[in-house]
Structures are given as C-alpha cells and as structure tokens.
C-alpha cells in the first residue's frame, strides 16, 4: 500500500460514526461535546471517544502587501488569551475576521481590510484555506493576500461596538520576517502568512 492509498483510506462519511452531540456551553463562542467511534488503522473500530469541540465558525485572514515598496501592513490589538504565555497581550497580526453563515469569504476579506486598516485592495487573491487548531476547534481560515498602497495605511481603526482598538503599522517585509524569526510575531496565521509570502515573492513582487 503506498502513501496515497493510506491517505485516501478513510473518509468522514463512512469511517466516523457520530453517536451524540450536545452543546455544553454557549456564550460569545460555543462548546459542543461529541461522542463518536472511528475506524482504526489496524482494522476494526475504536471504543467510544468523547471530545469537546470549540465552535466559533470560519474566518478570513488577509495579508496586505505593497509590491512596489516591499512593505506589509500589520495591525496591533489586544488579545487577552495571550496573557497566559507572553509578556504582552498586544499582538502584531494580519487582518482577520469571522465569516457569517450567509457571507462570501472574499467579500468579508475586503470588508475586514477596510474596517481594520482603512485601506482598500486593488487586487484580492485567494491563496488557500487551513484548519487552525483541528485538535480542538472546527475553525477554518481562508487566506488571501491583498495588493495595497501601503502609504495609505495609518491611524487607529476598528468597530467600537465590537470593542476593537486597532493600530496600523507599515513594516518593511525584511523587518517583519526578522520579527517572525525572533518570536516578536508569534501568532499562527501571521507567521504562516508571512512565511507564505517569503516563499512566493517571485509571484507577487515585480522584477
């Protein structure tokens, strides 16, 4: 059996049996408890497994990049959960926002870019999507890079009714990568986005 056959061996429809699902908490986010069985690699079925799944919907992540000046636009805002493991809860991030059930991801990407930075994209390109923390959350990120004029990015932004207080930073790409390497930028979506750009500069930056 080759690796492709192993990868294609299981699928959720026939190889996972959901026995029960109940909501154990519902507030700003939701926590569901699942009981399920699944097929085993060595054959047969597992015993009943209980897992709690953090349900917060899906989101877009947008990397605003100016290929003329070779700069990225980052935002800074408070992220309280970071207090458990870092000295500062104000993180440098990419633009991001939740996708409502009836929304189109690219439209959300444009909206969040305007709300969080005050700038618009001359081009918006879908890159890929990925699961953020599949061991405990269902959330999937839809990642875009946006072609922008970085000279227009400045000031404080965000929606007051969402308690957002967002500061915009225009950062040379090489400096941003230094912050990734030093750990100053340490949130997953921003690290992934900047590393993707580092690998794909030949596609987005004019010669």
pLDDT tens for each residue of 89-98? 999 999 999 9
Q: Give the Cα separation of 161 and 67 in Å (integer).
A: 34
pLDDT of residue 9: 67
pLDDT of residue 129: 97
Is residue 5 predicted with pLDDT exceeding 60? Answer: no
Report residue 45's pLDDT band, with 50, 70 and 90 as the boundaries.
Answer: very high
Is residue 176 predicted with pLDDT exceeding 70? Answer: yes
Q: How many residues does the chain have?
A: 207
CB proximity list for 133: less than 8 A, separation 6 or greater = 54, 139
Residues 19 and 94 in one domain: no
Let me know the angle formed at the C-alpha of 29 by 142 and 62, rounded to the nearest 5 degrees: 20
Strand partners, 66: 71
Cα distance between the two ends of the chain: 45
Full residue range of the structural domain in which residue 184 is found: 58-204
Residue 162 CB neighbours (<10 A): 9
Model pTM? 0.87
Residues 120 and 48 in one domain: no
Is residue 3 predicted with pLDDT exceeding 80? Answer: no
Residues 26 and 108 in one domain: no
What CATH number does residue 155 fall under? 3.90.79.10
Residues 19 and 68 in one domain: no
Is residue 206 predicted with pLDDT exceeding 80? Answer: no
Residues 88 and 62 in one domain: yes
Residues 91 and 109 in one domain: yes
126 and 144 in contact (C-beta within 8 Å)? yes
Residues 35 and 99 in one domain: no
Residues 67 and 47 in one domain: no
Mean pLDDT of 105-133: 96
Catalytic residues: 162
CA 25, 142, 116, 192: dihedral to nearest 10 degrees? Answer: 100
pLDDT of residue 8: 59
Is residue 33 predicted with pLDDT exceeding 60? Answer: yes
Residues 18 and 71 in one domain: no
Residues 195 and 117 in one domain: yes
Residues 81 and 44 in one domain: no
Q: How many domains does the chain have?
A: 2
Mean pLDDT of 130-150: 95
Q: What is the DSSP string of 23-83?
A: EEEESSSEEEEEEEEEB-TTSSB---EEEEEEE--EEEEEEEEETTTTEEEEEEEE-GGGG
Residues 79 and 166 in one domain: yes
Mean pLDDT of 145-150: 97
**Which of 18, 40, 55 is where one domain is finished?**
55
- Residue 107: helix, strand or coil by DSSP? helix
Which of 75, 6, 82 lies closest to 39 in space, CA to CA?
A: 6
């Amino acid at each position: 059996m080759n690796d492709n056959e192993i990868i294609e061996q299981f699928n959720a429809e026939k190889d996972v049996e959901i026995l029960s699902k109940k909501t154990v908490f519902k507030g700003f986010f939701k926590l569901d408890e699942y009981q399920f069985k699944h097929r085993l690699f060595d054959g047969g079925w597992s015993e009943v497994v209980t897992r709690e799944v953090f349900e917060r919907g899906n989101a877009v992540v947008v990397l605003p990049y100016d290929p003329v000046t070779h700069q990225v636009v980052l935002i800074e805002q408070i992220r309280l959960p970071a207090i458990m493991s870092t000295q500062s809860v104000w993180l440098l991030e990419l633009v991001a926002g939740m996708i409502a059930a009836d929304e189109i991801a690219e439209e959300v990407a444009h909206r969040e870019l305007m709300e969080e930075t005050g700038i618009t994209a001359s081009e918006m390109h879908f890159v890929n999507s990925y699961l953020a923390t599949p061991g405990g959350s269902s959330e999937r990120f839809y990642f875009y890079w946006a072609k922008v004029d970085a000279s227009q990015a400045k000031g404080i932004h965000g929606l007051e009714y969402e308690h957002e207080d967002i500061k915009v930073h225009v950062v040379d790409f090489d400096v941003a990568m230094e912050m990734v390497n030093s750990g100053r930028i340490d949130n997953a979506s921003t690290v992934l986005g900047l590393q993707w750009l580092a690998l794909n500069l030949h596609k987005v930056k004019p010669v």
